[in-house]
Structure 1
Amino acid sequence: MDTRNSRYARSRARGAVKPVIYVILAIVAGLAIASWIFIIKPHEDLVSADAGGHPSTPVAASQQAAPPVNVEAMSINDLLSEARKAMNAQRVIAPAGNNAFEFYLKVLQKQPGNQTAADALRETFPFAASNVEQVINQRDFNEAEREIDLLAKVDPANYTLTILRSKLDAQRKTLDEEQQKQLDQQRQADLAAQKAASEKVAADKLAADKAAADKAAAAQAALLAQQAKAKQDEAAKERATATADTGAGTASAGGETRDPMPIASIRPRYPTSALRNGQEGWVDVQYTVNADGSVSNVSVVQAEPRHVFDSAAIEALRRAKFSPAMRDGVAVAAQQQKKIEFKLSNQQ
C-alpha cells in the first residue's frame, strides 16, 4: 500500500513539473527569436552582404547617397525597421539623417529604456568606429567629426573616441603640413620663375645694349674710315692739282728760279775801337733783298760780342748790291740771313 502511494506521488510530481519546463522553454525560445530578429539577424545580414560582408567594408557611393528621412514622424517600430534596413544596406553611421545609429538613438530618445536599440548600438559601436577611422583616413574631417559626435552619444567615456579624435587631429595636422609644404614649394617655384624671368630680361637687355654698342662702334669706324678716305682722296687730288699746276707753270714760263746773290763781296769796316782793343767777333744779320737788288729791313739776329760790330755789319749790308731772287724768270723780293765775321787778320 505504501509502495503504491509513493509511485502515485512521484507520478503526480512529474506531471506537475512538465508544464513548468514547457513555460521556461517557451520563454527562452521567445527571447532567442527576439534576439534573432532584432540583433543577430541584422548582423548576419551585414556579414553575408555582397559588398564584403562586414560593416567596416567601405560603403558604396549609391548607399552613401541615400536621402535623409523624417525620423520625427516615425514610430518606434518604424524607426527599428528603418534601422534594420540601414544595417542591411551597410549604412551603419552614414549618411547623415539616414543611418542605423541615428535611428537607434531616436528610438532611445523616444523610449529611453528600449533594450533592442541599446543592445544594437553597443554591438555596432566597433563597426561604426571602424567606419569613422576610414573616413578620417579619407580626410573627410567634417564627416568624421559628425560620426564621432554620434558615437559619443552612445558611449561618451569609450577610450576608442579618444583614439579617433587623436587620429583626426593628427590627420588634420598632417594635411596642414602637406598643404603648407605645397604652398612653400609653389612659392619657391614662383620665386624661381620670377628670378629666371628677371635674369632673362636682364640678359636680353645686356645683349641688346651690346648689339647696339657694337653697331654704333661699327658705324663710327665706318664713318672714320670714310672720312680718312675722303681726306686721302682730297690730298691726292690736291697733289695732283699742284703737280699739274707746277708742270703747267713751268711749261708756260720756262724762266730761271734762284735765290738772291751779292754782286760783290761784302766787306764791312772794322770798328776803330775794336781794332784798337784787338777785339774780334761776328754778327748774324737778317735782311731782305728787294726785286731791284737793294737791301732793306736789316736786323741783327745775334752777335758776339754784342753791340761791338753790329753797326758795322748793318752798314755793310746796306751798301751791298745784290742780284735779286728769281722765280720763273721774274725778280722777286726774298729774305736772307748771313753771318759776317770780323777778324784782325783780315785787316793786315
Structure 2
Amino acid sequence: MSWFLIIKPHEDLLTADSGGHPSTPVNLGQQQAAAPPVNVDALSINDLLSEARKAMNQQRVIAPAGNNAFEFYLKVLQKQPGNQVAADALRETFPFAASNVEQVINQREFDEAEREINLLAKVDPTNYTLTILRSKLDAQRKTLDQEQQKQLDQQHQAELAAQKAAVDKATADKALADKAAADKAAQQQAALAAQQQKVKQEQATQTQTSAATPNSQVASANASAGGGETRDAIPISSIRPRYPATALRNNQEGWVDVQYTVNTDGSVSNITVVSAEPRHVFDNAAIDALRRAKFSPAMRDGAAIASQQQKRIEFKLSASQ
C-alpha cells in the first residue's frame, strides 16, 4: 500500500504522455512552452504536484526558470519537508536534469547552466555530478574566452596589416614621385649644360676670329715702324661668358657693352658696364667672362703699357643651341 501511495504517482508522472524514462536525455529544443502558474506560493501541495506532473509530461524538468518540475517539487518540500513523492521524484530525475544541464553548457548558455546547477545543488549538494558540471562550465567559459581573445588578436593583426599596407603604399607612391621629380630635374640640367656648351663653342669661334685681326694689324705696324713693337692689347684666351640659367629658361637674348683696362701683366681690371639690353640680365655673366680672360698687353715701342678697351658681348640662343 505504501509503495502505491509514494512510488506509483511518480512512475505515472514519468511515463505519462512522454513515454520515456527520466534518465533519457531529451533535445532541449523539444521542450514545450507553457504559461507558468500565476502565483506559485499560493498553490496547495496537490496543485504543486499537479504542476510538476504537467512539467514532467512536457519535459520541463529543470527549465524554463520558474516553470519546471524541479522548482515545483522543491516548493512542495518547502511547504511539507517530509513529502516523499517530491523527494523521490527529485532523486529519480536528478540524472535527467544533469544531462539537460550538460546540453545547456555545450550550447554555451552559461548563465542558464549556472542557474540549473544551483537548482540541482538544492536537491543534492554533495553529488559528485555537480563537481563535474561545474568543471565543464568553467572549461567552456575559458574556451569561449580564449576563442574571443583569439578573434580579437586576429582582428588586431588584420588592422596592423592594413595599416602597414597603407604606409607601404604611401612610401612607394612618394618614392615614385621623388624619382619622377629627380629625373625631370636631371633632364633639365642636362639640357642646360648642353646649351651652355654650345654657347662656349660659339664664343670660342668668335674669339679666334677677333684675335686674328689684331695680329694682322700688329704685323703691319711693325713692318712700317721698323722699330720697337707698338700694338693694342690682344686676347690670348677665349672670352667665354656663361649663359645665365634664368635667361635660358626664359628664352632671353641680349648684349652687354663693357669697358675695361688691360694691365701690363695681361690681367683685366676696372670692368664697367657701359650699356646693356636687357638691363641687368647678362651684366654679371659678361663681367665674369672678362675677369677670367687673359690678354697680351698693349705695347708701345716694345714696352708693355696699360690700355683701355671696350667690347660688346652678345648672348644669343641660336649660338647656344
TM-score, normalization by structure 1: 0.57
What SS does the corresponding residue of 1:96 show, helix, strand or coil?
A: coil
Alignment partner for residue 27 of structure 2, among 45, 51, 58? 58
Alignment partner for residue 7 of structure 2, among 35, 56, 61? 35
User: Matches of 1:55 and 1:210 in 2, distance apart?
Assistant: 77
2:82 alignment counterpart: 113
- 8 Å contact kept, 1:80–1:103: yes
User: Matches of 1:224 and 1:164 in 2, distance apart?
Assistant: 89
What SS does the corresponding residue of 1:98 show, helix, strand or coil?
A: coil
Alignment partner for residue 260 of structure 1, among 212, 222, 230? 222
The code of the aligned residue for 1:83 comes to A
The code of the aligned residue for 1:139 comes to R
- 8 Å contact kept, 1:55–1:92: no
Alignment partner for residue 170 of structure 2, among 194, 201, 206? 201
User: Matches of 1:222 and 1:205 in 2, distance apart?
Assistant: 26
- 8 Å contact kept, 2:55–2:67: yes
Deviation string, structure 1 residues 281-339 (Cα, Å, up to 9, x no partner): xxxxxx4359xxxxxxxxxxxxxxxxxxxxxxxxxxxxxxxxxxxxxxxxxx87659xx
Give the superposition deviation at 1:211: 1.6
1:181 paired with 2:150, answer yes
Give the superposition deviation at 1:33: 7.0
- 8 Å contact kept, 2:70–2:90: yes
Deviation string, structure 1 residues 167-211 (Cα, Å, up to 9, x no partner): 111111222222222222222222222222222221221122112
Deviation string, structure 1 residues 143-181 (Cα, Å, up to 9, x no partner): 111000000000011111111111111111222222222
Q: Which runs of 5+ in 1 are unaligned?
A: 1-26, 247-254, 267-286, 291-332, 338-348
- 8 Å contact kept, 1:79–1:107: yes
TM-score, normalization by structure 2: 0.61
Larger helix proportion of the pair: 1
2:260 alignment counterpart: none
1:97 paired with 2:59, answer no
What SS does the corresponding residue of 1:213 show, helix, strand or coil?
A: helix
What SS does the corresponding residue of 1:113 show, helix, strand or coil?
A: coil
User: Matches of 1:218 and 1:262 in 2, distance apart?
Assistant: 57
Give the superposition deviation at 1:105: 0.6
Residues 216 and 113 (structure 1), Cα distance of their counterparts in 2 relative to 1, 3 Å cut: same
Report % sequence identity.
Answer: 65
Residues 261 and 211 (structure 1), Cα distance of their counterparts in 2 relative to 1, 3 Å cut: closer
Deviation string, structure 1 residues 6-44 (Cα, Å, up to 9, x no partner): xxxxxxxxxxxxxxxxxxxxx37xx437633x2112222
- 8 Å contact kept, 2:31–2:59: no
For residues 128-139 of structure 1, the aligned pairs below 5 Å read 128-139=97-108
1:141 alignment counterpart: 110
- 8 Å contact kept, 1:47–1:55: no
User: Matches of 2:26 and 2:158 in 1, distance apart?
Assistant: 41
For residues 1-348 of structure 1, the aligned pairs below 5 Å read 27=1, 31-32=3-4, 35-36=7-8, 38-45=9-16, 47-48=18-19, 56-60=25-29, 63=32, 65-69=33-37, 70-229=39-198, 258=220, 260-261=222-223, 287-289=228-230
Q: Which structure is richer in relative contact order (CA contacts within 8 A, separation 6 or more)? A: 2
Give the total of aligned pairs: 235
The code of the aligned residue for 2:155 comes to Q
1:303 alignment counterpart: none
What SS does the corresponding residue of 1:86 show, helix, strand or coil?
A: helix
User: Matches of 2:42 and 2:83 in 1, distance apart?
Assistant: 18
Q: Based on CA coordinates, which of the two structures has the bigger radius of gyration?
A: 1
- 8 Å contact kept, 1:288–1:335: yes
Q: Which runs of 5+ in 2 are unaligned?
A: 232-298, 304-321
The code of the aligned residue for 2:89 comes to A
Residues 145 and 48 (structure 1), Cα distance of their counterparts in 2 relative to 1, 3 Å cut: same
